[in-house]
Amino acid sequence: MIEIETLSYEELVDLRDACNRKLLEMLPTRRRTLSELLHILEDVKVTLRDQGKQWRSLERWQWVDGEIRFWLNPVDQVNYQLGWYSIDELIAWTQNRGSVIRQFEDEDDEAELNEPGWNTESGPRITWLPEKPDASK
C-alpha cells in the first residue's frame, strides 16, 4: 500500500501520471459511441497536458478507414507526427509508444529535422536564405 502523505510533490506527480496512463490503458475503446469517444478524448488530453505534451489541434474528428479518428497537430513535430489517429493510438501516445512517436532510422534523420528549414514527408522543403548584406556600407 502507498502512503501518499509520505510522498514528495514529484513522487505524487509521477504517481498521478502512472495512474492516468494505466486507467486509459485499461479502458475498453472498441464499439464506443462518438460521445463516449469524445469523453475518452478529454481524459487523454488531461493526461497529455500532465505530461507536458502540447498540440495545436486535437479537436477535429472524422470517420476514417472504418473508425473515428482525431486530427493531431503536435507542437513538437521533431518527436511527434501530425495526422489522423484512433483513440487507441492517442492513448498509446500517453504511454510514449505508438504511431504518434516519430521513429528515426538513424541520427541523420533526426539531424535533418533539426536543421534550419522545414521538412515533412507530406510538405515542401523550405530553405532559409541568408540575410542580405547591408547596402549602406
Which distant-in-sequence residues (6+ apart) come within 8 Å of 50 by Cβ?
A: 13, 16, 17, 20
Q: Say what the pTM is.
A: 0.66
What are the structural domain ranges in the chain? 4-103
pLDDT per position as a tens digit, 107-133: 655 555 555 555 555 555 666 677 777
Q: For residue 90, what are the CA distances in angstroms to 30, 83, 86, 109, 133? A: 14, 11, 6, 24, 47
The grid cell for 125 is 522543403
The grid cell for 36 is 463516449
- Confidence category of residue 49, pLDDT binned at 50, 70, 90: very high
> Over pLDDT 70: what percentage of the chain?
79
Higher local confidence (pLDDT), 120 or 46: 46
The reported pLDDT for the residue numbered 121 is 56
Compute the mean pLDDT over every residue in the chain, rounded to the nearest whole number: 83
Return the sign of the alpha-carbon dihedral for residues 91, 95, 98, 104. positive
Mean pLDDT across 64-85:
94
- Confidence category of residue 105, pLDDT binned at 50, 70, 90: confident
